[in-house]
Amino acid sequence: MLFDYNRDHYKYREEFDEFPGIENFDFRFTKCTCGSTNSYVVSTTSRHRNVLPIVACDNCGTLRANPYFTEETAAYYYNNVYGKVKREGRTPEQLFDDQRRKSLAPFLDEFAGDFSTILDYGGGAGGKTAEFMSSGKKVSLHEVESNYSQYAYEQGITPYNEGTKYDLVVVSHVIEHLIDPVKHMTEIIRECCSKDGLLLVATPIVDRQRARQWLQHFHLAHKYYFTHDALIGLMAKLGCSLVKHNNNDSYLFKVGAGTDPELTSRSYAKGAQKTRLLVEAELKPSLKGLWRYLKNWRPLPHSQK
Ligand SMILES: [Zn+2]
């Protein structure tokens, strides 16, 4: 295991209650997005040092919190806890400006001729896609937090219109929050994406870093942590083919390519191997590790009762 809740030498060890009253809510064990239940534990702590079991899937290498929120628990959490903790003190204007600095326009520049309508799905104040309006494109937003969406509408972004299909759908830093990404992404593709449209998925990619750095991502609000290959494999299963990625968190797909089971299983196998190698590299015996072991060694009682 990489990060053990019972050990006390992690960077993020300040006291911080991520979910007050958590004992009153239900959690559930789930399969991975690839359908597998086989996994190994990589962490039992979140970055806030709250108990949060994170496992790595044997089949595809995706990490997930398991057990995790039920739908009811998630609804409570997002309505009553998340905004207060994660976006505390951030006005819609500040969020918009922060997002605008991470505008997706440069990344999508070469495809600008391929879309004229955009849906920013779960896009907060819409700052990541607002820049497209200056080139005459129509930007719409699907966002449940009304103070953020209201600000976006004041900037000229239009509300999501149910039943409308969009040439480009942006799902940025949403998928890691979803309880069932397969179900949810299938719905987004079916309900919101134009035929042969573009779909941008952005999410933290864990295998761009050494495993020792993963703790910074482990947050109660995130259920899934994808690897590069597992994300491509999952999207191939949903009929989306990779067009471009930015070597960081953003992946542009074309929808309607048809599912590709062979690519999916090949990607899953690569993802699983990558995750396993990263974890093993971290757990390799070292002199430092030996010293820590000797320093912390205590005789254990013989009784196993
Ligand atoms: Zn998996």
Question: How many whole angstroms separate alpha carbon 131 and alpha carbon 103?
Answer: 7
Q: How far is the CA of 176 from the centre of ligand 1 (A)?
A: 14
Cα of 233 vs centre of ligand 1, distance in Å, is: 10
Question: Where do the domains of the chain lie, and which CATH numbers do they carry?
Answer: 22-284 (3.40.50.150)
What digits encode the pLDDT tens for the residues 217-240? 999 999 999 999 999 999 999 999
- How would you class 78 by CB atoms within 10 Å of its CB: exposed for 0-12, middle for 13-18, buried for 19 or more? middle
Q: What is the pLDDT of residue 289?
A: 74
Q: How far apart are CA 54 and CA 46, in angstroms?
A: 9
Distance from Cα 83 to the centre of ligand 1, integer Å: 29
Distances (CA, A) of 63 to 38, 108, 206, 223, 275: 12, 28, 9, 8, 9
Q: According to the model, what pLDDT value does residue 254 have?
A: 97
Q: Tell how far the Cα of 60 is from the centroid of ligand 1, in angstroms.
A: 4
CA of 251 to the centre of ligand 1 (A): 19
* Low-confidence stretches of the chain (pLDDT beneath 70): 8-14, 84-89, 299-305
Q: How far is the CA of 50 from the centre of ligand 1 (A)?
A: 24
State residue 26's pLDDT score: 98
CA 92 to ligand 1 center in whole angstroms: 36
pLDDT, tens digit, for every residue of 75-102?
999 988 887 666 566 899 999 999 999 9
Residues 6+ apart with CB under 8 A from 47: 12, 215, 216, 217, 218, 219
Residue 230's CB is within 10 A of a number of other CB atoms, namely 31
Write down the pTM of the prediction. 0.90
